[in-house]
Amino acid sequence: MKRPASLAILLLALLAFAPSATPARAKVEGPAPPPPTVDVVKVEGVIDPALSAYVRGSIESSESTGATVILQVDARGAYGDQGIGLARFISRASVPVVAWIGPSGARASGGALLAIEASLLLTMAPGAGIGPALPLDSGTAASRLSPAERRAQEESFATVAGAAGRDRTILRQAVPAGPALDSHLVAMASPTIPDLLRKLDGRSVPVSGGSATLATLNRPGRPVDVSFHEIGPVRRVLHGVSTPAAVYVLLVLGVWGVAFELTQPGFGVAGIAGAVALALAGYGLSVVPVHWVGVVLILGGMALQGLDVLLRRLAWLTGLGSAAFVVGSVLAWRGTAPPVGLPPWLLIVASVGALLFFGFGLTVAMRARERIQSAQVGLVGLVGEVRTDLAPEGGVYVKGSLWRARSMNGPIPKGRRVRVRGIDGLILRVQEEPDV
């Protein structure tokens, strides 16, 4: 009788403890919180619409995941109100935004400095620089600002810096990391991103609607996911062409490519490259501040040089065109801030290059065209073979050479016989020859 009683007591004990075990196990098996993340966003060059859109999009993406944002900055200036607009956007971010001017040799100045002044923490690498703050718009050099414009830009900078709780002193010259740290222009100095992450970890910072504690360093049981971001390929191209030097080179090379193509049969690589260069230069001109009189003089000067080639080298047209080209090159971007200005050596190289291109290169191409046209006259009436489908243009083999031709009576497939009926510029006009 004792054994059944003992079993009954043991069973009752197990049932008594079972309800408390199930909730405890369910609590342990719950989903773990996602690890904290840090997005390092690289910001290089002048703040233009493409770069500004990239930074805004990166911060918005970080807001959707709750990531801390670190802006790695090497930016010298901004166009128009791009710096002010980006500063307002950064100040309203719902996630912590930290700006790091680095690595060594980097600098933040002008409108770019205004933008990152709106970040929660401003840091920099030893060997980096900060300032000058003016001009906020790189389209106008600081020395060309009127007193009223200078006061307005100083007030804009002081307002943004003051709202971030920093020294409102206007930086009138570049300041290295040491003095900037001593003057409380920046919060800390860190040589690398990993060192910055170590120093930021556990720091409490204010954000829109409250405060946040930064989690930027791996700890036992709490890994941190650090991602590095750069501007995408399309925006990279648009950002790359948004400087006076890039616009100037693209404009000149585009005109040269189209001018050379006009001396050749059909429309080939040079024409396509020239058209692409002119399209990119057109976008750059819509972003970069420019004196349009200078651009007109640049184009007009090259037009006069090209006209000289067509009119058999009248020297005074070449001289007049070269003078207009140089004056336009100086005037087009005169008065821009030094970081984005047109370097004098580039002006000299382009001026000499334009003279050589129109005075020698295009002249040789035109003479070659004339020789081709003379040879083509003797081809009229001859029979040749289609080497590439004419739809309506293609290649035709006539009298031992391959010529560019255009069909006069619809598509002609490869291998058919054709007869040359005339010449259109440098293109043969052909008709299919019936089989005998």
Task: Please tell me the predicted confidence (pLDDT) of residue 436.
Answer: 58
Sole residue written with tokens 């049981």:
221
Q: What is the pLDDT of residues 155-192, one digit of tens each?
A: 888 888 767 666 666 788 888 888 888 888 888 899 99
Long-range Cβ contacts of 162-170 (<8 Å, 24+ apart): 163/91, 163/118, 164/91, 164/117, 164/118, 164/119, 164/120, 164/122, 166/117, 166/122, 170/133, 170/134
pLDDT-derived band at 231 (thresholds 50, 70, 90) equals: very high
Indicate whether 357 pLDDT > 60. yes
pLDDT-derived band at 375 (thresholds 50, 70, 90) equals: low
Residues 6 or more apart whose Cβ sits within 8 Å of residue 55: 41, 43, 71, 86
Task: Please tell me the predicted confidence (pLDDT) of residue 33.
Answer: 63
Higher pLDDT, 430 or 312: 430
* Secondary structure, 3-state, 60-126: HHHHHHCCEEEEEEEEECECCCHHHHHHHHHHCCCCCEEEEECCCCCEEEHHHHHHHCCCCEEEECC
Higher pLDDT, 123 or 356: 123
Q: What is the pLDDT of residues 256-271, one digit of tens each?
A: 888 877 776 555 677 8
Q: What is the pLDDT of residues 322-352, one digit of tens each?
A: 899 999 999 999 888 888 888 999 999 998 9
At what angle are helices 344-356 and 244-261 packed, to 10 degrees? Answer: 10
Task: Please tell me the predicted confidence (pLDDT) of residue 26.
Answer: 42
Task: Please tell me the predicted confidence (pLDDT) of residue 335.
Answer: 85
Q: What is the pLDDT of residues 8-42, one digit of tens each?
A: 444 444 444 444 444 444 444 445 567 789 999 99
Lowest mean pLDDT among 104-113, 199-208, 389-398: 199-208
Name 40's bridge partners: 70, 228
Output DSSP code: residue 391: S
Burial of 117 (0-12, 13-18, 19+ CB in 10 A): buried
Burial of 129 (0-12, 13-18, 19+ CB in 10 A): buried
Task: Please tell me the predicted confidence (pLDDT) of residue 420.
Answer: 86
How would CATH label the architecture of 379-432?
Beta Barrel (2.40)
| First CA to last CA distance, the chain | 123
Tokens representing 89? Answer: 């956007």
Indicate whether 136 pLDDT > 60. yes
pLDDT-derived band at 47 (thresholds 50, 70, 90) equals: very high
Looking at residues 95-112, what average pLDDT do you find?
92
Task: Please tell me the predicted confidence (pLDDT) of residue 205.
Answer: 80
How would CATH label the architecture of 37-231?
Alpha-Beta Complex (3.90)
pTM to 2 decimals? 0.77
pLDDT-derived band at 198 (thresholds 50, 70, 90) equals: very high
Q: Alpha-carbon distance 374 to 102, whole Å? A: 63
pLDDT-derived band at 305 (thresholds 50, 70, 90) equals: confident
Residue of 340, 309, 407 lying closest to 111 (CA atoms): 340
Burial of 345 (0-12, 13-18, 19+ CB in 10 A): exposed
Task: Please tell me the predicted confidence (pLDDT) of residue 377.
Answer: 62
Looking at residues 88-101, what average pLDDT do you find?
91
Whether 170 and 154 have beta carbons less than 8 Å apart is answered as yes
Looking at residues 135-141, what average pLDDT do you find?
87
Output DSSP code: residue 426: T
pLDDT-derived band at 425 (thresholds 50, 70, 90) equals: low
Task: Please tell me the predicted confidence (pLDDT) of residue 15.
Answer: 42
